[in-house]
Structure 1
Amino acid sequence: MVGVGSFQPTTQEFPRSLYQLTDHIFIDTEDAVKESGDLTVPLEKGWITSESIQSMAGFIADKDKFHFKNGASIVFKSTGMALFDVVVANKIYKRAIEKGVGTILE
């Protein structure tokens, strides 16, 4: 399950039942824990613990520490970050220039 819709502490897109089925919760930035109701509400209500939330950076840096069982249920909660958007947009722009595609707006 991937969630990108709720970006305020009081808004949620995931139902309570999802947390009962989830084996791992990953976030794009540590700010997601404070910014998204998909994490603030379940933490406040005791549906999940802060220890159950891991950053993607932590996973990428130390994949060996994570042990996933077959059929594990994983939630990825993204609140986004403008820096990520700029990096991706820059990559797309450079690729378009290399391939000579797109429309130049002036």
Structure 2
Amino acid sequence: MDEVVVERVLRIVELVPECHVVNYGTVGLVAGCSPRYVGRVMKEFGSNVSWWRVVNAAGVLPEALLPTAREHWDDEGIPHTHEKVSRSAFVDVDDLEELWRTHGIDPGSS
């Protein structure tokens, strides 16, 4: 995997505000990679960022992650049912791009 893109994905995830989530596709649009690539980054390197804030387009995480994710969602007040996050908690791509523009430090820029 491209180290710069991996770092960019992780930095973007760190910008997702508490009480909100994004989907893999939204992170990918801002980072310049595919949703599947974001998923791979999160699986391999996401344990040190707020991984529970990155869900699929339906608001769902893999079954094995749900028990811990639910605890985080409850702690942060992220609205959810037993298995998925409410659409009202999603950050849209324009808002995430704005967060990245104003607060992100791109590892690929010199």
**TM-score, scaled relative to structure 2:** 0.31
Please identify which structure carries the higher strand content. 1
Mark the structure with the bigger radius of gyration: 1
Please identify which structure carries the higher helix content. 2
**TM-score, scaled relative to structure 1:** 0.32
